[in-house]
Amino acid sequence: MDSTAAPVERTQPSQFVRTERPGVMSQFNLQSPRVWLIIACVAAVFAWMIFAHRSHSSSNDVGAIAARQAVPVSAVAAKRGDLNLFINAISTITPFNTVTVKSRVDGELVRVLFKEGQMVKQGDLLVEIDPRPYQVQLTQAEGQMARDRANLDNARILYERDKELLRENVIARQDLDNQASLVGQSEGAVKNDQGLIEAAKLNLVYTKITSPISGRVGLRLVDPGNIIHASDANGLMVITQLQPIAAIFSIPEDDLPRVEAALRLNPHPPVDVYDRDFTTKLATGFLLTTDNEIDQTTGTVKLKAQFANDDFALFPNQFVNAQLLVDTKKDTVLVPTAAVQRGGAQGTFVYVVQQDQTVAMRPVKVAAAQGDLSAIASGVEPGEIIVTDGVDKLRQGSKVSVQLAANPVKPGATQ
């Protein structure tokens, strides 16, 4: 037992005697993987904190720089002028008169005196039908007329003679009455012959067909040499009046009171027509009349306008855009419609450029709008610079870099 316990007493005390109070790091084994994992985690946390701090500082710097930069915008100066208000509608050009020329007599078409597409005047000779059959009819009627006139003259002579014989009691009263009846029959025959002569002369006139209206001749429908009849459905040609010419368009019934108000001020308010793209004005005319009823199926009413069409810019059945002037806002402040913004709480407003190159949100009241222009009743004065483009990037007090656009607003504007 003594030999076994003695080494134990010598070994354990020797370890405690050599061991001094260790530091904190000396308690870890630096060669342990666990120790290095802890060190790596701590380093990562410190690195993330440093990066977040720098990112936050960088974001603040960018925000400050952005706050100091001016927003590029386009702007125009508000001006005073007149704003014309229109009703726009798709219109169809319609001629006042279109005539299908037909023959009133039968016969051979011997002459054509017009060219297709030619402008003709009322009374111009267009075609000629063979007149010889109707000249024969006229000669026959005149011959019968001569015969019946001779019979009438003879009946009258006999009647005068019978009156003398009756006074001398040579013949009976009945014989005189019979002769008077013969005179009446002869007079009727002569009158009938006169009618036949007039009919033959009229048919001769009908063999020469003249233009019933002034206008443009369409394509020829029958060639010379053909036998034509008064019962032919197609006719010989179509003539369309082009000067003046009309335009018919429909407007919603809700716009009818505006039209009636315009008619009370001007019996013939002006109407302009443009091409399909609404880029080129084709003609200027005036409102002629309105229809007498509203179409219940569409809820619209038809209007008719008249145009001189001196340059033949309007063509029958052409589709155009009609613009009817119904009112004019006189001496009002005009700004581009693109400048007028609408918000929930703010209502209608514009951005006005201040002298310090910042913008102020200005509430406005719009009196009327037409196309690219709006009439401002209150909120903006003439000469103030109004932002028209770039408003989506603005707020109250934003600094702006203004590029003045070509101002379409002119005094007396008719936009």
What are the tens digits of pLDDT across the range 313-364? 999 999 999 999 999 999 999 999 999 988 767 789 999 999 888 999 989 9
Mean pLDDT of the chain: 85
The residue type at 337: T
Are 227 and 268 in a shared domain?
Answer: no
Edge-to-edge strand list for the sheet holding 215-217: 98-101, 237-240, 215-217, 119-120
Are 110 and 219 in a shared domain?
Answer: yes
> What length is written for the chain?
415
The domain spanning residue 230 has which CATH number?
2.40.50.100
Q: Where among 187, 206, 225 does a domain terminate?
A: 206
Are 229 and 270 in a shared domain?
Answer: no
Query: Does some domain include residue 7?
Result: no
> Is residue 27 classed as helix, strand or coil in its secondary structure?
helix
Query: Does some domain include residue 389?
Result: yes
| CA 245 – CA 94 distance, rounded (Å) | 7
Listing DSSP states for 237-254 in one string gives EEEE--SSEEEEEEEEGG
Query: Does some domain include residue 65?
Result: no
The domain spanning residue 337 has which CATH number?
2.40.420.20
According to the model, what pLDDT value does residue 98 have? 96
Are 159 and 270 in a shared domain?
Answer: no
Give the confidence band of 411 by pLDDT, cuts at 50, 70, 90: very low
Number of domains in the chain: 4
According to the model, what pLDDT value does residue 18 have? 44
pTM more than 0.85: no
pLDDT tens column, 16-36: 444 444 444 444 455 556 656
According to the model, what pLDDT value does residue 327 have? 92
Return the ∠ at Cα 301 (arms to 280 and 266), rounded to 5°: 65
Are 136 and 105 in a shared domain?
Answer: no
Neighbour tally for 176: CB within 10 Å:
18
| CA 78 – CA 72 distance, rounded (Å) | 19
| CA 221 – CA 236 distance, rounded (Å) | 5
Query: Does some domain include residue 251?
Result: yes
> Is residue 170 classed as helix, strand or coil in its secondary structure?
coil
User: Tokens standing for 46?
Assistant: 């410190």
Flag whether pLDDT at 403 surpasses 50.
Answer: yes
Percent of the chain with pLDDT over 70: 81
| CA 87 – CA 283 distance, rounded (Å) | 16
| CA 77 – CA 405 distance, rounded (Å) | 9
pLDDT tens column, 97-131: 999 999 999 999 999 999 999 999 999 999 999 99
Give the confidence band of 407 by pLDDT, cuts at 50, 70, 90: low
Q: Where among 301, 329, 357 does a domain terminate?
A: 329
DSSP class of residue 32?
-
Are 120 and 156 in a shared domain?
Answer: no
Q: Which residue has the tokens 């134990």?
A: 8
Flag whether pLDDT at 13 surpasses 60.
Answer: no
Give the confidence band of 50 by pLDDT, cuts at 50, 70, 90: low
Q: What are phi and psi of 239, to 5 degrees?
A: -115, 130
The domain spanning residue 153 has which CATH number?
1.10.287.470
The stretch 49-53 carries a mean pLDDT of 63
Flag whether pLDDT at 14 surpasses 70.
Answer: no
The stretch 292-298 carries a mean pLDDT of 93
Query: Does some domain include residue 319?
Result: yes
According to the model, what pLDDT value does residue 169 have? 86
The domain spanning residue 319 has which CATH number?
2.40.30.170
Flag whether pLDDT at 64 surpasses 50.
Answer: no
| CA 239 – CA 218 distance, rounded (Å) | 6
The residue type at 91: S
Are 220 and 258 in a shared domain?
Answer: no
Flag whether pLDDT at 66 surpasses 90.
Answer: no
According to the model, what pLDDT value does residue 162 have? 87
Flag whether pLDDT at 143 surpasses 90.
Answer: yes
Query: Does some domain include residue 173?
Result: yes
Query: Does some domain include residue 412?
Result: no
The residue type at 398: S
Are 104 and 224 in a shared domain?
Answer: yes
Are 253 and 322 in a shared domain?
Answer: yes
| CA 280 – CA 324 distance, rounded (Å) | 16
Are 378 and 258 in a shared domain?
Answer: no
Query: Does some domain include residue 11?
Result: no
Q: Where among 278, 304, 329 does a domain terminate?
A: 329
Full residue range of the structural domain in which residue 229 is found: 97-125+212-240
Are 371 and 303 in a shared domain?
Answer: no
Are 76 and 136 in a shared domain?
Answer: no
